Amino acid sequence: MNTDSKGARPPLVDIGVNFHSAQLASMTSPLLARAKAAGVAQILATGTSLASSRLALDLAKANPGVVFATAGVHPHGAKSHDTATFHELIELWKCPEVVAVGECGLDYNRNFSTPQAQRTAFEQQLSMAVETRKPLFLHCRDAFTDFHDMLAPVVADGARGVVHCFTGNRAEAEAFLEMGLDIGITGWVTDLQRG
Ligand SMILES: [Zn+2]
């Protein structure tokens, strides 16, 4: 890693920006400029669907060495995930700019897709993380038991990754760390309702 000209602090890496989201979609250039000014050297653009994964890859190609992409299907979108989209994602995971598999996981809090559809999409992405040896960008909400049970065998097969935006309890945090996963502590840390 490079140090900046002042040598004051190491460069920062932001591992999850939803550039495609409604809130950020029109702000890509100013966001990249502000990140650079703040010392953020690299950014991972999150893909949460086939379409947003393609956008993330396009952004990565337009900003080589600065922006990288994930490709995957968020549990909310699992209902529209099928064999065709899976095969399209497999092509994306071959790209060097795509450095992680996800955002994927389980979210039983709102069940925008059925738990069965979520598990099917998650299972496919877990297997691809093992096959591509790319880390997982993981989402888990109110689904710890199934999530942990599905992850355990792929972790044993060498998969690694980050449970981003962790909102579980202490035992869950310790279980993930015990598996060798990282957890992301994000803005929720300021939310009293989540402790
Ligand atoms: Zn998430």
Question: How many angstroms does the Cα of residue 51 sit away from the middle of ligand 1?
Answer: 17
Is the separation of the CB atoms in 15 and 183 below 8 Å? no
Question: How many angstroms does the Cα of residue 103 sit away from the middle of ligand 1?
Answer: 7
- The pLDDT, as a whole number, for residue 7 is 59
3-state secondary structure of 78: helix
pLDDT tens for 110-166 read 999 999 999 999 999 999 999 999 999 999 999 999 999 999 999 999 999 999 989
Question: How many angstroms does the Cα of residue 6 sit away from the middle of ligand 1?
Answer: 35
- The pLDDT, as a whole number, for residue 194 is 66
pLDDT tens for 80-96 read 999 999 999 999 999 99
What's the rounded Cα separation, in Å, for the pair 77 and 52? 11
Provide the residue ranges of all domains of the chain, joining segments of one domain with +: 12-190
Question: How many angstroms does the Cα of residue 4 sit away from the middle of ligand 1?
Answer: 31
What's the rounded Cα separation, in Å, for the pair 52 and 44? 13
Output b/e per residue, 149-161; b: 16+ Cβ within 10 A.
ebbeebbeeebeb
Strand 161-163 with 40-45, pairing: unpaired
Query: Is residue 73 over pLDDT 90?
Result: yes
What pTM value is reported for the model?
Answer: 0.92
Question: How many angstroms does the Cα of residue 3 sit away from the middle of ligand 1?
Answer: 30
Question: How much of the chain, in percent, has pLDDT values that exceed 90?
Answer: 87
pLDDT tens for 114-129 read 999 999 999 999 999 9
Among 3.30.420.40, 2.60.40.3120, 3.40.50.300, 3.20.20.140, what is the CATH number of 12-190?
Answer: 3.20.20.140
Question: How many angstroms does the Cα of residue 173 sit away from the middle of ligand 1?
Answer: 16
